[in-house]
Amino acid sequence: MASETVESTAATDRRSVTERLGLDSEAIRGWLTVLPVILLYLFVAVTPIAFAFYASLFEIPLLAPEWTFTGFSNYVEVLNMGSFWSALWLGGLFMVGSTVLQLLVGLWIALVLNKISYGQRFLTAVAFTAYLVPTVIVVLIALFMFDVEIGVLHIAGSNLGLWGERTFALGDQTWAMPLVVLIGSWKFSIFVTIFTLAQLRAIPERFYEAAKICGASRWEMFRDITLPRIMGVLLIAVLLRAIFMFNKFDIIWMLTEGGPAGATTTLPILAYRTAFLENSYGLANAMAVIMFIFLAIGAYCYFRAFNPAKEVDT
Amino acid sequence: MSAPTESEQRLSYETRDRLYQVALYGSAALFTFIILFPIYWMVQNAFTDSQAVITEFAWFPSPETVTLENFSVLTAGAVPTYVINTIVVTIGTIVLVVAVSLVAGYGMARFRFKYKESFAQFLLLGYMFSPIVLGLPLYLIWSETGLLNARIGLVIALSAISMPFAVWLMWKYIQTIPESMEESAWIAGASRWRTFWDVVVPQTKPAIVACALFAFAIAWNDFTFAQILLPSQDSTTFAPGIMRLIDQGGYTSWGDIMAVSFLMTIPPLLFAYFLQEYLLKGFEVRTR
């Protein structure tokens, strides 16, 4: 009698749990199909972030991995580092400069692409070209073009008096950061273009015709018809560009390795240096956690402001 | 404001229109130049005698200095290994991304299960993954699990960051395929797996191409993950490999570097031109 009761409660419990999770055979098969994705995410995203937080509580010389628990002292150390604050400042500068430039150029290209009637397909291909040329190739071409001996841009710049004849522009204190921003924007401006273009093409031509009849100038048409309609997508592009550029490592590292004398050392560069050149793996993970917090704030803004899933649905 | 006469108005309108056209096509020409000049410069020097590259500055190739010699960089030294590693990693990433996203996209489109929407939302967080933030902790994890310096480790990392896009694309695409064809296959006695393989997969070809392209772009372009996860000089891919060669100062023949750069640029350029529609389609799913 007693055992029966226990059994039956267990059975109802089991049913209620499976019901609550909605685990019939269809659901199980559904979850099985997405299992590989979950595993990949666990392995490559969730674990590393948890691990980074854990490792940031230790002092870990990378070459002799002996972990010494130090609590939050890595964070205290990071916040007391002059180089951290200068990297944050330079990273902000790099982020804002790149985002503004890419927004302006990207939008400009999109408007041109949308209006020209000849060579549209060609120009679209050209624009895509810049986006698809691998970063390393962009860097190699840039290094070649700024070469002190034979670089075409180096010669042009020194003839214009921008820098000396023997000055490697990317190794110059004043020029390194602006040039890294420019070279990065050569590649990434098109991101904004592609984002905007579909939206631009969706604006009905009759709006412009009506405005023309009312005697609106081109600027007024842009301000009152085009801009309000692409504002949403532009904001998304700006937010994404800002997040991506703040976390940019590859193009800066390949062009300057953070130099000269730290002039292009942004947060990702500083974290990489700390881990692999200064051998302080725990400290570097504290920086990774701080970068992750920035990312999370950016992601939160992104999801709060735009609800991308809803937009994908429509 | 005094009303201008009719002829004045037309004239000014025409002038303004002409100016507008000039600005429009002028901008188009300017962008084309800014984007294409570096690429032209790379190609031109790739085919120029490596001695002439350093000694004679020339805007256009001249018949005396044109040569294919620079491409011999692909036959000796470390560069061929790097290029092969990049190709292997890229193919591996494409295969893994397409396989995993096809199955997941099919499951999400055809099975009903709770929390599916939240799961899809969670996937989108993947856009925020930054290789440098993930790469630092992954370094020790990979070295503990033996994936450090293994190409498969890089393939796994690159596939994970390609997932949000690929799975969303497959999911949305398979939703547009009518279920009735599958149903008739079931009635004819086909298993679920067989139906998936013979009925669904052939119809998802455009989505497969878009996913493959996207995975290609991620893997071919990667530097950060490879730099951290393939630290050994012999096993690394092209981007970190060539940068380390240049850093060590042992490699400054610009002719050779431009030649191999040119070869590495050809696949993305071909895709940019011939698969434009697929790319735009992919971006539409991504942005909207």
Residues A89 and A212 in one domain: yes
Residues A153 and A213 in one domain: yes
Whether residues B127 and A240 touch (CB distance < 8 A) is answered with yes
- Give B246: exposed, middle or buried? Use CB within 10 Å, 0-12, 13-18, 19+: middle
- Condensed to tens digits (0 to 9), the pLDDT of residues A74-89 reads 899 889 988 999 999 9
B20 Cα to chain A: minimum distance (Å): 9
Contacts of A156 (CB under 8 A, 6+ apart): none
Model confidence at B41, pLDDT cuts 50, 70, 90, reads very high
Contact of B269 with B114, CB cutoff 8 Å: no
Whole-number Cα distances in Å, B118 to A138, A249, A299, A310, B248: 39, 31, 16, 12, 49
Domain assignment present for residue A173? The answer is yes
Structure confidence at residue A111 (pLDDT): 92
- In the three-class reduction of DSSP (H, G, I as helix; E, B as strand; rest coil), residue A160 is classed as coil
Q: Nearest to residue A51, comparing CAs of B74, B110, B135?
A: B135
The Cα B34–Cα A130 span in angstroms is: 10
Residues B105 and B60 in one domain: no
Whether residues A33 and B127 touch (CB distance < 8 A) is answered with no
Residues B54 and B101 in one domain: no
Whether residues A130 and B41 touch (CB distance < 8 A) is answered with no
* Residues spanned by the domain of B189: 77-252
User: Residue B113's domain is classified under what CATH number?
Assistant: 1.10.3720.10
Instruction: State the amino acid at position B39 in one-letter form.
Output: I
pLDDT at B248 exceeding the cut of 90: no
- Per CB-CB distance under 8 Å, the chain A contacts of B120 are 309
A7 Cα to chain B: minimum distance (Å): 28
Model confidence at B285, pLDDT cuts 50, 70, 90, reads low
Domain assignment present for residue B238? The answer is yes
Residues A93 and A220 in one domain: yes
Contact of B255 with B49, CB cutoff 8 Å: yes
- Per CB-CB distance under 8 Å, the chain B contacts of A243 are 128
Contact of A154 with A147, CB cutoff 8 Å: yes
- Condensed to tens digits (0 to 9), the pLDDT of residues A28-70 reads 888 888 899 999 988 888 899 999 999 899 888 877 767 888 8
Whether residues A34 and B108 touch (CB distance < 8 A) is answered with yes
Residues B151 and B246 in one domain: yes
Instruction: State the amino acid at position B151 in one-letter form.
Output: R
- Condensed to tens digits (0 to 9), the pLDDT of residues A202-234 reads 888 888 889 888 888 888 888 888 888 888 888
Model confidence at A195, pLDDT cuts 50, 70, 90, reads confident
Q: How many domains does the structure of chain A reveal?
A: 2
Calculate mean pLDDT across residues A131-152.
Answer: 91
Structure tokens at B27: 């901008």
Residues B144 and B127 in one domain: yes
- Give A99: exposed, middle or buried? Use CB within 10 Å, 0-12, 13-18, 19+: buried
Structure tokens at A84: 């951290």
Residues B51 and B99 in one domain: no
Residues B84 and B175 in one domain: yes
Residues A37 and A92 in one domain: no
Calculate mean pLDDT across residues B257-265.
Answer: 92
Residues B244 and B222 in one domain: yes
A14 Cα to chain B: minimum distance (Å): 17
* Residues spanned by the domain of A28: 2-55
Structure tokens at B203: 């119809």
Structure confidence at residue A3 (pLDDT): 45
Q: List, in sequence order, the alpha helices (H) in chain A.
A: 2-21, 25-41, 47-55, 73-80, 82-115, 120-132, 135-145, 152-159, 176-201, 205-213, 218-221, 227-246, 250-256, 267-276, 281-306, 308-313
Contact of A254 with A134, CB cutoff 8 Å: no
Domain assignment present for residue B265? The answer is no
Structure confidence at residue B284 (pLDDT): 55
Residues B109 and B43 in one domain: no
Residue A273 host element (H or E): helix A267-276
Residues A50 and A102 in one domain: no
ipTM of the complex: 0.87
Domain assignment present for residue A281? The answer is yes
Domain assignment present for residue B121? The answer is yes
Q: How many domains does the structure of chain B reveal?
A: 2
Residues A253 and A114 in one domain: yes
The Cα B69–Cα B255 span in angstroms is: 9
Residues B237 and B113 in one domain: yes
Cα B125–Cα B130–Cα B132 angle in degrees, nearest 5: 155
Residues A46 and A90 in one domain: no
Please give the full DSSP string across A199-233, using - where no structure is assigned.
HHHTS-HHHHHHHHHTT--HHHHIIIIIHHHHHHH
Residues B94 and B161 in one domain: yes
Cα–chain center distance at A132: 16
End-to-end CA distance of chain B: 45
Residues B93 and B62 in one domain: no
Model confidence at A307, pLDDT cuts 50, 70, 90, reads low
Residues A30 and A83 in one domain: no
Residues B64 and B81 in one domain: no
Domain assignment present for residue A254? The answer is yes
Residues A223 and A115 in one domain: yes
Residues A6 and A145 in one domain: no
Calculate mean pLDDT across residues B23-27.
Answer: 91
Contacts of A166 (CB under 8 A, 6+ apart): A148
A to B CB pairs, distance under 8 Å: 266
B266 Cα to chain A: minimum distance (Å): 9
